Amino acid sequence: MDVLNELVDDLKLLGDKTRLSMLSLLKEREWCVCEFVELFDISQPAISQHLRKLKSKGLVKEQKRGQWVHYSLNIKDKPHIQAILEYTPDSKEILARLNKVSGTVCCD
């Protein structure tokens, strides 16, 4: 795939507010699927679909712990994504916009 097509595909993924918010949250720490379900108030299958898309482009990596899957950022080879995430809000601001106090760990 040529570079322009890859950039277009990556930017399309970031065009979704939920996915962009997820990536922004992942800048600071890894998150579990159950935490994202609680934060975004959408179904677990919908969260998993967003994460599947991000994983398919290599933007996140997953680690299974028990029955839960934890996700972390994987953008070392994607400077264009790194540059965009420099301008996204930090987790405190995102959580405030979602009317959440903090990311509750629900799966440990």
Compute how many other C-beta atoms are within 10 angstroms of the C-beta atom of residue 10.
19
Q: State how far the alpha carbon of 88 is from the alpha carbons of 27, 46, 56, 66, 93, in Å.
A: 10, 22, 22, 31, 10
Measured between its terminal Cα atoms, the distance across the chain in Å is: 40
Give residue-wise pLDDT tens across range 52-89.
999 999 999 999 988 888 999 999 999 999 999 999 99
Mean pLDDT of the region 90-99: 91
What values do phi and psi take at 64, rounded to 5? -85, 130
Q: Is the pTM of this model over 0.85?
A: yes
pLDDT surpasses 70 at 105: no
Give residue-wise pLDDT tens across range 10-38.
999 999 999 999 999 999 999 999 999 99
Q: Where are the domains of the chain?
A: 3-97
Helix (H) or strand (E) holding 62: strand 60-65
Distance CA 103, CA 36 (A): 8
pLDDT surpasses 70 at 108: no
Mean pLDDT of the region 41-55: 95
Q: Which architecture characterizes domain 3-97 according to CATH?
A: Orthogonal Bundle (1.10)
Residues forming a β-bridge with 41: none
pLDDT surpasses 80 at 101: no
